[in-house]
Amino acid sequence: MSRHHIDRALVASRIEDLSRIGRVGETGVTRTVYSPEWVTANDLLERWMIGAGLAVRRDAVGNLWGTLAGTDGGAAIVSGSHVDSQAPGGKYDGALGIIAALTAVEVLHEAYGAPRQTVEVVSLCEEEGSRFSSASFWGSRAILGLIKPEDVEGTRGYVDESIGDAMRAIGLDPDLIPTAKRDDIETFIEMHIEQGPILEAAELPVGIVTAITGYRHYVVEISGQANHAGAFPMAMRKDPMALAAQLITEVRANAIHMGAPAVTTVGRIQVQPNYPAIIPERVMFMIDARHPDPDQRMELYRRHEATLARAAETSGMTLTWRYNKDLPPRPCDPALVDLLDQVASDLDIPHQRMTSGAVHDTQRFGQIAKTAMIFVQSKDGRSHTPEEFTATEDAALGIEVLAEGLRRLAWGTNR
């Protein structure tokens, strides 16, 4: 099996060049959607795409597309990721997936000329929610036709602005958003950093993703009774903080007992009145609970709700819960997973199958296309921080898998 030559120095320099746009400190990047840095980054990607022989266009929300038209026409095979970052994030989250797609398609174009099936590289405009917390996959939602007219002014930033304001400020017309919708994407493959420690622990450069997790955010509220922290005996208290502490431990235990890849996190808590010498009146905390298997996910939620119901019955306090986010898991296309797994084996690139505990644009594309993801190793599992790091060699091996996968799909007869 001959392997595609992926120029390691070129991959490294592209990662560096892109990360210089919005650079924070030594290794961080802040590149929020529709910011001047975001504009400059897409301009650079556009130049690279043109240099690779791709026909470039931008859609109404600013997704940047580079197309290599297929001789057979038909629906497209798309690869890419998001160009926006956390504030600050690292150099690799999102950016590497675009560089990977561009580099893979460039190598294939040089080696084999025009593909049979159309191939596109995409720089998706928004995934991180780092400027507008509820923008929530703005770019891929536009491609799916899921942005409602009221979302344009209703999607508010961390500073007082709407996403419509931000679009208009860089010359995009929100009224045109419906024109970004696509119904001619057959396949979407995203390469991404793992953002977890699993591949590093297994000493593997590459993971083939079989499913992307589903998650739910529960909001739990406990009302007790505020009293003096010294004068009120322990046995007579209605202490919602003590109950919250117990429940946090119990929901964690539920996930641990179910076993990986079940995960549960309490990362947000609010206490009233939040003073050291007052037993609190009220505590609110949120439970983030995830599982990539639909049935196992519901089982995890059943256990969490049983834990909460038991506490509501026995604690003598008022405890309520609801959930405000509920995203189903998205299995990747089994045939596409098999293909990428076979490709990695044929190329002698060490790899394993795994699920994604983070959500990605791919999850959205799963509604309209066959999808798959390639993970590459994250050092210490770190991401969403300037500390995030992926070795160029691991990135290049992931790109090799992507390139050979795309070759078999779009250039080959394996369709």
Q: Given the rule CB under 5 A, which residues bind Zn ion?
A: 93-94
Nearest distance in Å: CB 94, Zn ion: 4
Alpha helices (runs of H) in 259-391, residue ranges in sequence order: 294-314, 334-346, 361-365
Burial (CB count within 10 angstroms: exposed 0-12, middle 13-18, buried 19+), residue 296: middle
Residue 276: helix, strand or coil by DSSP? coil
Minimum CB separation from Zn ion for residue 107, in Å? Answer: 23
Minimum Å gap between C-beta 33 and Zn ion is 13
* 93/126 with CB nearer Zn ion: 93
Nearest to 377 by CA among 230, 194, 208: 194
The burial class, CB within 10 Å (0-12 / 13-18 / 19+), for 305 is middle
Considering the complex, state which of residue 93 and residue 194 has its C-beta at the smaller distance from Zn ion. 93
Residue whose CB is less far from Zn ion, 46 or 93: 93
Q: Reduced to 3 states, what is the DSSP secondary structure of residue 370? A: strand
237: left (phi over 0), alpha (psi -120 to 50) or beta: beta
CB of 94 or CB of 261, closer to Zn ion: 94
The residue (of 97 and 224) whose beta carbon lies closer to Zn ion is 97
CA-wise closest residue to 268 among 220, 309, 302, 310? 220
Residue 82: CB minimum distance to Zn ion, A: 6
Nearest alpha-carbon partner for 391 in 122, 208, 204: 204
Compute the distance between CA of residue 173 and CA of residue 165 in angstroms, rounded to an integer. 10
| In the complex, minimum distance from the CB of residue 390 to Zn ion, in angstroms, rounded to a whole number | 12
The answer to whether residues 238 and 316 touch, using CB atoms and an 8 Å cutoff, is yes
AA identity, residue 120: E
Q: Which is nearer to Zn ion, 82 or 216 (CB)?
A: 82
CB of 190 to Zn ion, least distance (A): 9
Nearer to Zn ion, 118 or 362 (CB): 362
Least Cβ distance, residue 361 to Zn ion (angstroms): 8
Q: How far apart are CA 86 and CA 88, in angstroms?
A: 5
Cβ–Cβ < 8 Å for 361, 139: yes
Which residue, 62 or 139, has its beta carbon nearer to Zn ion? 139
Distance between CA 22 and CA 17 in Å, rounded? 11
Q: What is the smallest separation between the CB atom of 275 and Zn ion, expressed in angstroms?
A: 39
Distances from the Cα of 310 to the Cα of 27, 216, 236, 388, angstroms: 47, 20, 20, 41
- Count of CB atoms within 10 A of residue 383's CB? 22
For Zn ion, the closer of residues 83 and 241 by Cβ is 83
CB of 175 to Zn ion, least distance (A): 29
